[in-house]
Structure 1
Amino acid sequence: MAKDDLPEPKRRNRTMNIADVLAGALDPVLKKRGFASRDIIAHWSVMAPKPYGEVAIPDKLNWPRGERSEEGATLVLRCIPGHALAIAHDGPKIAAAVNRYFGFVLVSTVRLSAEAFTPGSGEKSPKSIQPSQSVAAKVGAQVAEIADDDLREALRTLGHALSSRSERKGG
């Protein structure tokens, strides 16, 4: 099939919510983890009893083998080290809170995952920009006459970032 024979991609002449765009990619992954929807993950901090909304996160739902019954699933949580004992003790309380949120028996028991949960683990740390000597000299000369120290330093940092970005692109 030649490149010209490919159909033109369907265009949506409207703005879309980022959640709607990502739903197509996330839903199959969540289904493999036992979640029918994103609700339990998206609203975890609201439905979980305090402090478990901040120290734990749902990892998966394990449904009983065979026919789905009224028993509910086993909710597997990842937690911050040091909170495992409290979560194990308050498992029925956590399951009741989740069931109360949904209005039916979704979770029968709560178990802990072997993997720990570290809040902010998805956040990127800012990279330290180390410009070459020639770039540092060029940027330094351009901002040297600025009187405000904070503004001069901010512009110097911006100049280093932009120059390293253009170097990565190849010119």
Structure 2
Amino acid sequence: MAKDDLPEPKRRNRTMSVADVLSGALDPVLKKRGFASRDIIEHWSVMAPKPYDEVAIPDKLSWPRGERSAEGATLVLRCVPGHALAISHEGEKIAAAVNRYFGFVLVGSVRLSAEPFTPGSGKKDDAPFQPSESVIAKVGAQVAEVENEDLREALRTLGHALSTRSERNNG
């Protein structure tokens, strides 16, 4: 197929948030996990009773075989290891809270996943990484001839960041 034969991409003529754009990429993954939409994951902190809103997260929604539209799916939760026993005893309370949020019986029972949940595990350490003296000297020599001071400083910062990233990955 020649480059000229490709269809032009659909233009929406409006601004879109990153969440709206990425939601289309997440929907197929969530459907494989049994979720019809991402509401239960997005609003978990609102619907789950305290303290389970902070120590557990929905992992999967298992529907009875052959009855995709049947009420009473099994909600599988990943939880912080120290809270597994409490969640197993409070399953009915958690199911009732989820059903109350949606206004119909969505969850019939709650089970625990074998995989633990670690709150904040997605956060990255923002500790600044200082470039080595050799990197500072090398980048400084490369940008020394740039006349514009603001441009020279921006290039120096970029050079340090790129060198630092390659040092982190190789080191």
Q: TM-score, normalised by structure 2?
A: 0.78
CA contact (8 A) 1:70 1:105 kept: no
Three-state SS of the structure 2 residue aligned to 1:61 is strand
Number of corresponding residues: 153
Equivalent position of 2:131 in the other structure: 131
* Residues in 2 aligned to 1:83 and 1:3: alpha-carbon distance in whole angstroms: 57
Equivalent position of 1:29 in the other structure: 29
Equivalent position of 1:122 in the other structure: 122
The 5 A counterparts of 1:64-103 are 64-68=64-68, 70-103=70-103
Identity of aligned residues (%): 78
Equivalent position of 1:20 in the other structure: 20
Three-state SS of the structure 1 residue aligned to 2:60 is strand
Unaligned runs of 5+ in 1: 141-157
* Residues in 1 aligned to 2:125 and 2:48: alpha-carbon distance in whole angstroms: 29
* Residues in 2 aligned to 1:122 and 1:38: alpha-carbon distance in whole angstroms: 18
* Residues in 2 aligned to 1:26 and 1:9: alpha-carbon distance in whole angstroms: 21
Q: What value does the CA root-mean-square deviation take over the aligned residues?
A: 2.8
Q: Deviations over 1:47-77 (max 9, x none)?
A: 0010000000000000001124654100000
Residue number among 148, 154, 158 corresponding to 1:162 in the alignment = 158
* Residues in 1 aligned to 2:163 and 2:113: alpha-carbon distance in whole angstroms: 44
With over 3 angstroms needed to count, the CA separation of the structure-2 counterparts of 1:68 and 1:13, relative to structure 1, is closer
CA contact (8 A) 1:135 1:160 kept: no
The 5 A counterparts of 1:38-57 are 38-57=38-57
Q: TM-score, normalised by structure 1?
A: 0.78
Three-state SS of the structure 1 residue aligned to 2:13 is coil
